[in-house]
Structure 1
Amino acid sequence: MPDTTNNAPIQTQGDETTEPEATTPEAEPIAAETPSESNTAESQDDTAFSREYVEKLRKESAGYRDRAKSAETRVDELSRQLFTAKVAATGKLADATDLEYNPELLDDDDALSAAIDALTESKPHLKARKVTGDVGQGDRGKPEEAFSLLKALKGL
């Protein structure tokens, strides 16, 4: 047993630091495993796609990207129209476009109503007005007959 009480380094046996004489497959030179330049070009041609095929895929992908962009644009346009229709359906605003578009309010009717109420409190002139009173126009039903003295005397 080695002496570990003093601070002297522990002596190792000679065979622990020497390299083994047997060679392993991992220790073989790597250069022998790598193919030559011409062999590499041939292997790339086997795994690469043809130019026509790649161009076809790129055109197809570009078409899908364009369709996705137009679909996103259409969804945004329709969601804005839905928002305006929902605001108009409440009848609280004179002009439904006065409330700024907020996609989060589309799903929550209570939040939409609260947003409209907050807008009308801060800007009361945007509130919808109801017409009341008689302005003297339009169909009023059957008019009353004017007083006729002749009809009154005949009725006696």
Structure 2
Amino acid sequence: MSADTASRTLKSRAGSHRPELDRLWDRLRHGDTVVVWRLDRLGRSVPHLIDQLEDLQARGVGFVSLQETIDTTTPGGRLVFHVFSALAQFERDLVIERTSAGLAAARARGRVGGRPKKLTEQQTATARSLYESKTMTVAEIGRVLGVSRSTIYRGLEAKWKK
């Protein structure tokens, strides 16, 4: 076999940082083929696996999984890859749809997402009156209320927009 078509065997470690995989990715060239024992050796989840396979395809690198008999260097293997890819995209779309529906339902029940406001309505009104009376600087108002200057400015800005 020539260097361009040499098969490479991938051995990975558990965890998110995988130095051997990174080293493999750095050495891959167009025409190479990555060979793994099982699909889970390359990707930890279906979306991650699809991303890895798409990256290999974009580089012109073949992929073979011995256990699942997937070989992207053949038409049948590419078909299986595209089916996996379509299923992964479908899964991502479902997650987005469910998340959006859940957020809309929560908003309909009066729930507001995001981080809670540092200033209550009463504190914001106090900050605004102190600011408008020019008796204290913004930094002093912040110290009195126990928040930063930027929080005071955000509170004042929100009230002025209303």
TM-score of the superposition, structure 2-length normalised? 0.27
Answer 1 or 2: which has greater strand percent.
2
Answer 1 or 2: which has greater helix percent.
2
